Structure 1
Amino acid sequence: MKYISKTVGVLSLVSLFTDIASEMLYPILPIYLKSIGYSILFIGILEGITEVVAGYGKGYFGQLSDDTGKRVPFVRLGYALSAIAKPLLSIGQVPFVVLFSRILDRIGKGVRTGARDAILSSEATNKTKARVFGFHRSMDTLGAVLGPSFALVYLYFYPKDYIFLFYLAFLPGIIAIGFTFFLKEKLAQSKQTSLNNQKSNKFISLINYWKTASPNYKKLVVGLLVFAFWNSSDVFLILRSKEAGLNDYQVIGIYIFYNLVYAVFSYPLGVFADKIGLKKMLLCGLGIYAGVYFLMGLVQNPVLILLAFFLYGVYAAATEGISKAWISNVTPSNETATAIGLYAGMQSISAFFASLVAGWLWFLFGAPVTFIVTGVVAVFVILYFLKVKITEETEV
């Protein structure tokens, strides 16, 4: 743990408490909205709009962070917006307020993501980035274990008392904001990015970054986005679990189990990735992903479904933080927030379309075809990365 600095520790605690707040509500929000009369179509449109908003925000505010040379204000504001959005959901009878709350939450995610990941990158070397990102991801995902677990226990004793849960979710959000005041801006970052202050912050300038980005960044992101375009929402895995005969409590339990595996494996796999190389770890993760989707497409045995979710947690630990660490290694340090933000933004938008494609395949051909086709695409992405050569930036 000697490579985990105080700043990385503080950011990890901020993410932990924020994710506790978010994940307390994630499993029950669709149930709540449906219970008060919202249609599945409205819920789908709502989530689609919020993903697009978060997607563009990650790129735009990531670039703005690079342009201004500031990180901490974006982190603090982003987490604050997400915390404020939680209690607004209690006014669920007003569609506009629900939409506003979800958009505010996603704007918060967009504001903080690029700047936060740039801070994590600056706290590591090229040889330690995977473990730093892995540790942060582990703490973040631990929140996805604690949040739903708390919600599950609370609703067991107070069934359908969703409103008070929205207010309770505000508390860990406030704690997260408090931790952001322990973050200090590095003066070196402002000097390092001073040349970027001349860049335009207009909408089009974010698109222009792709034109000026290094070939290595483009080759890496193209492969990641092809995968993202087919990597649909975890909701489809949950629906497949329901088809296998699991009840509601078992489905929530298996979702918690997946996040627990994700949290436990993120840091050790990050350490291992620093030793064997980020590319090898990412390819291992994609290989596991393909195996999971083939398994989910071919079987409905509850025991094998549990195995699939275990492996899915390992896949997530082997790819999420690793991909960001790799992007930061092929990008100049004064462009880190823009590079990761643009990728994260396009990833969010791709995920939205991935879910549309998966839903279309499921509707026309059934679940097995949906999962098998996605697994095949993952294999092709592996072959792509085996063929292309991506050179990392040399540390100064």
Structure 2
Amino acid sequence: MYLSTSRAADIAADPPAPKGPLRAVPGTVLALGMVSLVTDVSAEMVTAVLPLYLVAGLGMSPLAFGALDGLNQGATALLRLVGGRVSDRTQRRKLVAGTGYAISAVCKAALLAVTTPWSVAAVLAADRTGKGLRTAPRDALISLSCPPGEQGRAFGVHRALDTAGALLGPLAAFGVLWVAVDGYEAVFTVSCCLALLGVLVLVLFVRESPAPAPAAGTPAARTLLRIPGLRRLCLTAAVLGVFTVGDAFLYLLLQRRLDLPAAWFPLLAVGTAAVFLLAAVPVGRLADRLGRHRVFLGGHLLLLGACLLLLAPVPPGPALVCAVLGLLGLFYAATDGVLMAAAGPLLPPGLRTTGLAVLQTAQALARFAGSLLFGAAWTLWGPGPALAAAAGGLLLALTATALAPSAFAGRGHAAGEESPEA
């Protein structure tokens, strides 16, 4: 069930899109996609060199680095709620998102000035603050710029551009390291310039669609909790998120199976990003046609397939690498933007940012808990039994979710309007 008020506001926000390969994709979505592309090149340049820079260059222990990464992920999840609530209260989603992007750009410059492991850690924590603030307002801007029936395609286009940045970032970092004398400083400098360019694109080209403010006197939390579809979506995302094995763990398992040289390890992420890039738009359109519930669950089946491939006695080689990375890239294409596309039409426009932030936080915290559990199982039992336990849990979670009433086809906030499965 879609919201009649949401449909009216969404259609009025943008004129009819031109025909062609990107028909029904508003200019706001394309502009935000370019912002994410440039920003992701900047961010992934740093991410590609960060473990080596901190551990080998500045002497941080691997255990400390792991704890730092986990804490940053958890903090980001909680900060999405802050960004969402501030955006809805002020109705300034572009401003809040821009503040998040600007914070991250400043942090890239700050990396040039810090020289100790924990001062770098503080800068990274501030950078994650920026990411946490901007994620929900950005997704709300996408959702509010197009009608409900085209949300999957819109998020697919955005995620494709975002993933193009994730694909280019590590390659750009290795190129800079190859030609620069002061390699790390050069990477941070180029990254900062690109981050500032992303902020400029946001300011100049992103338009904010008008949305009614939340009704006075009704707490946001109470309003959102009255939406059955959102409650079920949060539960579905959380249950599946606990048993979602992170790509870093899958890359480590692949590296062990193939005895892959350390220099080639970052290219595993490039392979996943390439598949995600190619599949994001077609899978988003497929979700609009076949139903986001089916596509979302199908994506987790693909992840389960990747886990089973790593557990099976498959000979190590290029075929195994291509199969695992292909399944992982398709998993992200079928779950990332599809979940946001399913949630958007369920939420009243005045609380859409907060609602998306709640959903993102539920999923992120569940995946964070799952990563901790999987890491502990790996330490206690070894990688094989840990992966088998995670795969079994994911299969049970998928079965329970598939048999439960669809979280993706629940009634929206306004009664009286039926919709196809979202």
Counterpart amino acid of residue 334 in structure 2: A
Letter in 2 for 1:291: G
Per-residue CA deviation, residues 228-247 of structure 1 (Å, 9 max, x unaligned), is 12224322112112202111
Q: Give yes or no for the alignment of 1:332 onto 2:348.
A: yes
* Correspondent of 1:356 among 372, 397, 411: 372
Q: TM-score, structure 2 length as denominator?
A: 0.86
Please, which moves more after superposition, 248-257 or 130-139? 248-257
CA distance in 1 between partners of 2:74 and 2:266 (Å): 26
Q: For residue 276 of structure 1, what is the aligned residue in structure 2?
A: 290
Tell me, yes or no, if structure 1 residue 93 matches structure 2 residue 109: no
Which of these residues, 13, 22, 27, is aligned with residue 43 of structure 2? 22
Whether the 8 Å contact between 2:275 and 2:330 is mirrored in structure 1 is yes
The equivalent of 2:311 in structure 1 is: 297
* Residues 194, 216 of structure 1: alpha-carbon distance in 2 compared, 3 angstrom cutoff: closer
Question: Which stretch has the larger CA shift, 119-128 or 96-105?
Answer: 96-105
What does the per-residue CA deviation read over 1:25-45, in whole Å, with 9 as the maximum and x for residues that have no partner?
A: 112101100012111122122
Residue 242 (structure 1) aligns with = 255
Contact 1:126/1:395 (<8 A) preserved:
no
After superposition, what is the alpha-carbon deviation per residue over 1:175-223, rounded to whole angstroms, capped at 9, x for unaligned? 100011122333x31xx11425x567xxxx7xx4597342221112111
Shift in alpha-carbon separation, 1:274–1:253, aligned structure 2, 3 A: same
Deviant stretches of 4+, over 3 Å: 156-160, 208-211
C-alpha distance in structure 1 between counterparts of 2:332 and 2:309, whole Å: 16
Tell me the secondary structure at the aligned position of residue 124 of structure 1. coil
Residue in 2 aligned with 1:33? 54
**Given the superposition, is the C-alpha separation of residues 209 and 43 from structure 1 closer, same or farther in structure 2, using an over 3 Å criterion?**
farther
1:322 to 1:330, Cα distance in 2 relative to 1, 3 A: same
Whether the aligned pair in 2 keeps the contact of 1:261 and 1:313 (CA below 8 Å) is yes
Deviations 1:282-301 (A, max 9, x none): 12111111111111233461
Q: From 105, 113, 117, give the equivalent of 2:127.
A: 105
Q: In angstroms, what is the RMSD of aligned CA positions? A: 2.1
Q: Deviations 1:329-376 (Å, cap 9, x if unpaired)?
A: 332222211111112123223232222111111112221222222222
Separation in 2, partners of 1:392, 1:272: 22
Verify: 1:216 aligned to 2:229, yes or no. yes
Report which stretch shifted further, 280-289 or 157-166: 157-166
1:263 aligned partner: 277
Q: Which residue of 2 aligns with 1:226?
A: 239
Q: Counterparts of 1:340 and 1:52 in 2: how far apart (Å)?
A: 17
Tell me the equivalent position of 1:320. 336
Q: Is 1:11 aligned to 2:27, yes or no?
A: no
1:283-330 Cα distance to aligned partner (Å, 9 max, x none): 211111111111123346132133111111011101110011112133
* Matched residue type, 1:9: L
Question: What residue identity is the alignment partner of 2:28?
Answer: T
Partner Cα separation in structure 2 for residue 37 and residue 96 of structure 1: 10
Q: What number of residue pairs does the alignment pair up?
A: 386
Q: 1:235 to 1:277 in 2, by over 3 A?
A: same
Does 2:215 align with 1:195? yes
Unaligned runs of at least 5 residues, structure 2: 1-21
Cα distance in 1 for residues equivalent to 2:136 and 2:342:
14
Query: Could you say if the C-alpha distance between residues 177 and 375 of structure 1 is closer, same or farther in structure 2, counting changes exceeding 3 Å?
Result: same
Q: Deviations over 1:53-103 (max 9, x none)?
A: 211110121022112222110111111111111122234423442122111
Relative to structure 1, is the Cα distance of residues 377 and 144 closer, same or farther in structure 2, using a 3 angstrom cutoff? same
Aligned to 1:141: 163
1:2 is matched with 23
In the alignment, what sits opposite 2:74?
Answer: 52
Q: Please, which moves more after superposition, 68-77 or 290-299?
A: 290-299
Pairing 1:113-152 to 2, within 5 Å after superposition: 113-152=135-174
Match of 1:387 in 2: 403
Report the Cα distance in structure 2 between the residues aligned to 1:159 and 1:310, rounded to whole angstroms. Answer: 36
Q: Which residue pairs with 1:310 in the alignment?
A: 326
The two structures have a TM-score, normalised by structure 1, of 0.92
**Conserved 8 A contact 2:243-2:393:** yes
Q: Distance in 2 between matches of 1:160 and 1:284?
A: 46
